[in-house]
Amino acid sequence: MTESNVFTKVGARALRTRWLVRAPIWLYRCGLGFLFGSRLLMLQHTGRRTGTPRYVVLEVVDRPAPDEYVIVSGFGTQSQWYRNVLADPQIHLSTGTKHNIAATATPMTDQESTLALEHYAHNHPKAWNKLRATIEHATGSPVTTLPMVLLRTS
């Protein structure tokens, strides 16, 4: 088994391990989000059924402007956070040394998402190759485009 196959299998299993995926949330909530730099952010959204605050840590795919962040739903339109921000686009985010910033989430069109994904793949080719393989292994389907959301701070 090659090194990349091992990484893909381990990464796919990690994406499906709830406690591991949720561990960074506690670091952000303790004020330690700066440890992840500006490549990750914690998104606080509202549960569409419960109305309670929910949290997820996601990779920042792009920063088209200083007050904008593009994030991707690696598990497609069925991701709970994605469905929640469609229902209520008023969110808060924390990234780097910035905490609890009000923002609005706007779903991107397929064309906008494709362009953002191409931009990410061009700027981070090694990361994209590993991430794409991991997502495909975890979801069991090929990645052609992924739903993305533009976060614009208030």
pLDDT at 8: 53
- The DSSP H or E segment spanning 126 is helix 125-139
Span 79-83, mean pLDDT? 94
Which has the higher per-residue pLDDT, 50 or 147? 50
pLDDT at position 89 over 90: yes
- The DSSP H or E segment spanning 29 is helix 18-29
Distance CA 93, CA 88 (A): 14
Residue with tokens 């792009």: 62
pLDDT at 12: 46
The amino acid present at 51, given as its one-letter code, is G
- Say how many C-beta atoms besides its own lie within 10 A of residue 57's C-beta: 20
The amino acid present at 11, given as its one-letter code, is G
Overall pTM > 0.95: no
Distance CA 25, CA 21 (A): 8
Is residue 106 within 8 Å of residue 149, measured between CB atoms?
yes
